[in-house]
Amino acid sequence: MLDSTLAAQVQNLLDRFGAALEAGDAQAAAGMFVTDCYWRDLVSFTWNLRTMEGREQIADMLTAQLPAARPSGWRLDPDEIPTEDGGVVTAWITFETAVARGYGLIRIRDGLIWTLLTTMQELKGHEEPKGRRRPLGAQHGADKRRVTWKESREAEAAQLGYDHQPYTVIVGGGQGGIALAARLRQLGVPTIVLDSHDRPGDQWRKRYKSLCLHDPVWYDHLPYIKFPDNWPVFAPKDKVGDWLEMYTKVMELNYWTRSTCKRASFDEATGEWTVVVDRDGQEVVLKPRQLVLATGMSGKPNVPKFPGAERFKGEQQHSSHHPGPDAYAGKKVVIIGSNNSAHDIAAALWEHDADVTMVQRSSTHIVKSDTLMEIGLGALYSEEAVSNGVTTEKADLIFASLPYRIMHEFQIPLYDQMRQRDKEFYDGLERAGFKLDWGDDGSGLFMKYLRRGSGYYIDVGASQLIIDGEVKLAKGQVTEIVEDGVKLDNGEVLPADLIVYATGFGSMNGWAADLIGQEVADKVGKVWGLGSDTTKDPGPWEGEQRNMWKPTQQQALWFHGGNLHQSRHYSLYLALQLKARMEGIDTPIYRVQDVHHLS
């Protein structure tokens, strides 16, 4: 089939779809989808992040949202050619709503829509000052009242939070808070980022010394400024920290270091937050309209309370506070946990001649880094993908276009390939007694991450230490901490000078409990997970990440974060939601998520 014919067929379908929407005929529009269809909308129609599954849900959304959305202008992206593979036609599309311009990806099967992704890209009249709209910078001409850029920035930094209140306060200055603040800066939303560290990037610098990114560089760009072409594939933590510090400066962020949010409360009558901040020893009260917790899904350490811990004579640390291996040469170290941090810390301690035992309490999914790069990520995030025209932005949208309900079906064959490719490696781990899993349904790493944010290790070398017996493996549950070690449920006592709790992190609404109150934390409910009814992701099915990047049950409270990819991609949609509210644009939300789990 000729591309021109294919394009004409897709445009014909878009024309009919657009006509039904403009006529307000929700049933006719829903009837243009196959029965097992999915429409994922990122803000443009729903002012939410929602996936509609099946014609009935699509019709319900359209009935509720069409009067305000008033979509129009459904067109093929002129720079992209529709493709056909296995009877499925894929095409990039543009469209508009009453207040915004959008971009999307459509998949067509048997002449009907199978999957549709619609995303808001910009608000009309509030476009970012980029490209032909970029600021001039220089002030040509003579003016005795001239204010330089440096003077202007210094005045803004001195006044914001004191003489002028920010519209948004972001608690947490890691990659999530920084990416969102950069988006908001470009949209003209006055924003302050609060972070307790001495410098931007210290969130990375202060982690254990061997920490590197396990995701490749193409997956990890921040908005606006990409890593240079000679940036390493896997960046060391201190290099990442320096990049984040540079980024806050060149993106002109109002970033308050040594600033701790002590408490926050929301006034329903005024629609205003009161945020009490300790800024380097000085109490400052901020009055933003929007509060974003960007404290990270790996931000609140989960430290188990084992009997006897107070009697232990050695050191005890959560993995997030482990300083590195230097002081532990010749020491006996017990690491409780068997996921990413546990493996990284174990390998670094072994390199520094510590006697290391890893306690595996439950099964772990392991995938070799080079295999994951080639089979799992290569099509979207790699040098080859870039050469094939798949930019990071396009890759983000392709990944976002796969509905979570069926994403595992695309992942399972990839992980089957990985299992076969590295069979000898996995056989070695099992001979060593390591308990492996591939997720509840064999769908591997990404689904585990999306469902529970834990339970995996991307192998960069530590697994071989376990296979070779260089890092000892103990299995079972910890029943007690004794004076000189860790006691397991089989009666075994593991001698220890240091215990590292590589036991993960709690739900992000724990930060809401600390800062605002348990009542608000329970009102919002659990953060993260899809409701897949798999391990640590209890049902019912919700179809989007709980509470992330979208309205919550607490007015004007938002959660933002995730890995670098998610911080980059979803910061756009959260920034647009905040900008719209600042400008007084009507934002009728379709179905704020119900709360099924408190934490």
Give tens-digit pLDDT for 442-464. 999 999 999 999 999 999 999 99
Phi, psi of 521 (to 5 degrees): -60, -40
DSSP 414: H
- Pair 358, 450 in one domain: yes
- Pair 485, 470 in one domain: yes
Indicate the pTM of the whole model: 0.96
- Pair 391, 518 in one domain: no
DSSP 319: G
Q: Give the separation between CA 470 and CA 343, rounded to whole angstroms.
A: 12
Give tens-digit pLDDT for 224-270. 999 999 999 999 999 999 999 999 999 999 999 999 999 999 999 99
Other CB atoms within a 10 A radius of the CB of residue 487 amount to 18
- Pair 387, 451 in one domain: yes
Residue 313: pLDDT above 70?
yes
Q: What does the angle CA 72 – CA 73 – CA 75 come to, to the nearest 5 degrees?
A: 140
**What tokens appear for 243 in the block?**
């990049």
Give a yes or no: residue 144 inside a domain.
no
- Pair 279, 313 in one domain: no
Give tens-digit pLDDT for 349-392. 999 999 999 999 999 999 999 999 999 999 999 999 999 999 99
Pick from 317, 351, 313: nearest CA to 502:
317
Pick from 316, 304, 349, 293: nearest CA to 504:
304
Pick from 188, 202, 137, 192: nearest CA to 170:
192
Give a yes or no: residue 594 inside a domain.
no
Domain span at residue 264 reads 160-300+506-583
Q: What's the rounded mean pLDDT across residues 532-546?
A: 97
Give tens-digit pLDDT for 102-140. 999 999 999 999 999 999 999 999 999 999 999 988 888
pLDDT number for residue 141: 85
Residue 2: pLDDT above 50?
no
CATH code, domain carrying 402:
3.50.50.60
Is the Cβ–Cβ distance between 563 and 215 less than 8 Å? yes
Q: What's the rounded mean pLDDT across residues 203-226?
A: 92
Q: Single out the residue in 438, 471, 499 at which a domain terminates.
A: 499
Q: What percent of the chain has pLDDT over 70?
A: 99
Q: Give the separation between CA 119 and CA 101, rounded to whole angstroms.
A: 9
Pick from 328, 274, 10: nearest CA to 165:
274
Strands (E) in 294-450, as ranges, are: 315-318, 332-336, 355-360, 365-368
Paired residues of 318 in beta bridges? 501
- Pair 282, 194 in one domain: yes
pLDDT number for residue 335: 98
Q: Is 542 helix (H, G, I), strand (E, B) or coil?
A: coil
pLDDT number for residue 312: 97
Residues 6+ apart with CB under 8 A from 468: none
Give a yes or no: residue 132 inside a domain.
no
Q: What's the rounded mean pLDDT across residues 87-92?
A: 98
- Pair 290, 313 in one domain: no
Residue 1: pLDDT above 50?
no
Number of domains in the chain: 3
CA 106 to chain CA centroid, nearest Å: 24
Residue 96: pLDDT above 90?
yes
Paired residues of 236 in beta bridges? 212
- Pair 225, 286 in one domain: yes
Q: What's the rounded mean pLDDT across residues 87-104?
A: 98
Three-state SS string over 232-279 comes to: CCCCEHHHHHHHHHHHHHHCCCCEECCEEEEEEEEECCCCEEEEEEEE
Q: Give the separation between CA 360 and CA 368, rounded to whole angstroms.
A: 19
Give a yes or no: residue 78 inside a domain.
yes
- Pair 196, 52 in one domain: no
Give a yes or no: residue 145 inside a domain.
no
Q: Give the separation between CA 317 and CA 128, rounded to whole angstroms.
A: 45
pLDDT band at 299 (very low <50, low <70, confident <90, very high): low
Is the Cβ–Cβ distance between 177 and 253 less than 8 Å? no
Pick from 336, 333, 314: nearest CA to 325:
333
pLDDT band at 507 (very low <50, low <70, confident <90, very high): confident
Query: How confident is the prediction for the chain on average, in pLDDT?
Result: 96
Residue 298: pLDDT above 80?
no
- Pair 48, 98 in one domain: yes
Residue 406: pLDDT above 80?
yes
pLDDT number for residue 167: 98
Q: Is 309 helix (H, G, I), strand (E, B) or coil?
A: helix
Give a yes or no: residue 134 inside a domain.
no
pLDDT band at 209 (very low <50, low <70, confident <90, very high): confident
Give a yes or no: residue 212 inside a domain.
yes
- Pair 189, 238 in one domain: yes
**What tokens appear for 303 in the block?**
């430290």
How far, in Å, are 122, 171, 298, 416 from residue 176 at the CA level? 20, 10, 11, 33
Give tens-digit pLDDT for 314-353. 999 999 899 999 999 999 999 999 999 999 999 999 999 9
Give tens-digit pLDDT for 457-496. 999 999 999 999 999 999 999 999 999 999 999 999 999 9
Give tens-digit pLDDT for 127-180. 999 999 999 888 888 889 889 999 999 999 999 999 999 999 999 999 999 999
pLDDT number for residue 29: 98
CATH code, domain carrying 58:
3.10.450.50
Residue 57: pLDDT above 50?
yes
Rounded-to-10 torsion of CA 573, 286, 129, 581: 50
Q: Single out the residue in 438, 466, 499 at which a domain terminates.
A: 499
- Pair 449, 576 in one domain: no
Q: Give the separation between CA 452 and CA 460, rounded to whole angstroms.
A: 22
